[in-house]
Structure 1
């Protein structure tokens, strides 16, 4: 597998550019008249598109059967999980914060930016309420895993939209693999896994660390599944979950983790890798004929820079799609485009899609996949190219 040195920490560098005080200003649309003011800063995440209101709750989970792999002296493996769920309309409560100011400060400090405008990150408005009453019925469960170094908050827009469409979504922060993740009592662990990657003496050693991240995330996701669907669940509204319908979706190395958990846990029925290298190889036996979708940039085109997708595609033995999004970048499938608008910077000048298109494509294709494979509702969007989505290329049909 070809792997550029430092690929795994590319998202961290991206976040650094996003928050940097000297960043490229976002260009006005070509149609804007000369002298026009720059677009107003984004004050909220894109609104969810489904029929349900959205509730949310944060869980602190401890796996007493595992010692933390990155900092063994810290004891048992601990995880922070945000659960977004369909809710009944109404309720006077405020929206949940995007992240706390302390988390934003820690994230920026971890990137070497001190206390540079943490309010720009922490004050972004969401569309979830912590006091929301759960909707009636049972709903499929989606496990979300963020990119390496990124807190779970960076997948909030997708989590809220899926919850509004009738899914329970558990977004997992993997301890010591992210910056800016607060635990009870205010403790914010460093990204020890990031340090392990940086300390790797060569590409083979780096690859070994990253494979450990991927397989470790599989263990984390299986544990979260246990705690949400087991006999004594950690979430008081766990009765909302239909345990027969479970999917794993991840961005970057979280996408590799989605494949890894499917290899390790037969309870996971379907998976999506959003622009992530496969750090654990899919075996010749495949994923047990379970559906899997690869959604990413055209960097992952057949014969392209990351040949783990070529290899993975050949070994996927169930329903599968490989979708390349022209004009997208590595972080297009996260909240980063929205944060770019908020910060009034351009992170990746090669991205030509608008923020709205990046958000819409991610939401529409992820939800179509889940609707088809968890709910059994055929989605024409996944059959082939559509006029309304000319940027989406079906690779190796």
Structure 2
């Protein structure tokens, strides 16, 4: 029923790129197989966490760092309970707050009987908020995951402050939320399998995810003037502080358009520190993270990781992760709300569905041990069907792999 509703909504939209009705759960008719929602009903709650006594990168001294977290989880619902709204969501590059719609039911009872479930952390870009990549939250929760999406303090639409804070705090925020979720009680009791955790990070969230995965910063990162050497000291490859912060419960990472590789924030030694499975997603003309010199450099440099890379040919920085632009984002031009979310070539819902497919296969394989999902990732370019030149990939319909490249490299 959930899938049929989403498809019907898209059909009524006529395939436009704007998210009419501001839905985060769109399933296009051409969506690949594993994009479809799973069998679980979805609940959602908002948590207010505090990371106490953290270095105040912008103001000096220390402070208690507040982190609002949206949590999606398998829910125990009576059949047919309708999904609710996400109200007062700040829209990018605007003073407007909008309402989003999806399948999750606010404060629904958790389905602990089938738990615990693997944990996935979502980490937005700069600026952003916990709803920017919320389509992953609902989609994965319906498949038996607990998903926690972070509002990174000093890095949101409402609270965008100095960039140094984002550089210093992204990975610590991610690992703090992993730890808090893994030991959480209350409504999450019996729900979270923290020993099987993953991070999905977009842009600066991807930067943090690469750090959390084991790629400590190069010494040169502290000399670039974006943050003081002291602020980044605990993130430096080879430092005792960085080694102590690694969390063995983190079993896989998805980095979408990760920022920083093109500037040399990591050297070869740092990237070689990643030894857990890595899925990279990017657009071939990313104008922010630099596809060739940044995103691909991370992919190729993580030589000790089993890694895959999905490329949307012709797409820019917004490939795969951001939800469709809210219908209120009608203004165009540089810096507009619309361009914050949208791509110039690809439809957001189309990219979201493709990303959901590959992320599902990747996480099911590495967090749930579902060996059957390996076939969705072992594509080797696919089978070519002459004369049309279309590739045949498991889970994709005829002609629906056009514009996509999927690669794999084994750990050395």
TM-score, normalisation: structure 1: 0.71
Quick one: which of 171, 177, 181 aligns to 1:218? 171
Residue 175 (structure 1) shift: 0.4
Residue 311 of structure 2 corresponds to 324
Residue 371 of structure 1 corresponds to 364
Residue 238 (structure 1) shift: 3.7
Q: Mapping of 1:174-323 within 5 angstroms?
A: 174-180=152-158, 190-193=159-162, 196=163, 209=164, 213-230=166-183, 233=184, 236-263=187-214, 264-278=246-260, 280-281=265-266, 284=269, 286-299=272-285, 305-312=291-298, 313-323=300-310
Q: Distance in 2 between matches of 1:255 and 1:151?
A: 14
Quick one: which of 74, 97, 102 aligns to 1:126? 102
Is this contact kept in 2: 1:292–1:316, CA < 8 A? no
Q: Does 1:63 align with 2:58?
A: no
Residue 357 of structure 1 corresponds to 350
Residue 277 (structure 1) shift: 2.0
SS of match in other structure, 1:227:
helix
Compute the RMSD of aligned alpha carbons: 3.2
Quick one: which of 138, 149, 157 aligns to 1:160? 138
Residue 320 (structure 1) shift: 0.4
SS of match in other structure, 1:124:
strand
Q: Mapping of 1:330-345 within 5 angstroms?
A: 330-336=317-323, 338-339=324-325, 343=329
Q: Which has the higher helix share?
A: 1
Q: Distance in 2 between matches of 1:40 and 1:267?
A: 36
Are residues 228 and 251 of structure 1, via their aligned partners in 2, closer, same or farther at CA, if it must alter by over 3 Å? Answer: same
Residue 381 of structure 1 corresponds to 376
Q: Distance in 2 between matches of 1:68 and 1:276?
A: 24
SS of match in other structure, 1:269:
strand
Per-residue CA deviation, residues 28-67 of structure 1 (Å, 9 max, x unaligned), is xxxx9xxxx9989334222561111111111111112314
Per-residue CA deviation, residues 13-34 of structure 1 (Å, 9 max, x unaligned), is xxxxxxxxxxxxxxxxxxx9xx
SS of match in other structure, 1:333:
coil
Are residues 368 and 290 of structure 1, via their aligned partners in 2, closer, same or farther at CA, if it must alter by over 3 Å? Answer: same
Residue 233 of structure 2 corresponds to none
Q: Distance in 2 between matches of 1:345 and 1:369?
A: 36
Residue 76 (structure 1) shift: 0.8
Q: Distance in 1 between matches of 2:284 and 2:171?
A: 26
The runs of 5 or more residues in structure 2 that have no matched partner are: 1-13, 27-35, 215-245, 333-337, 383-391
- How many residues are aligned here? 321
TM-score, normalisation: structure 2: 0.69
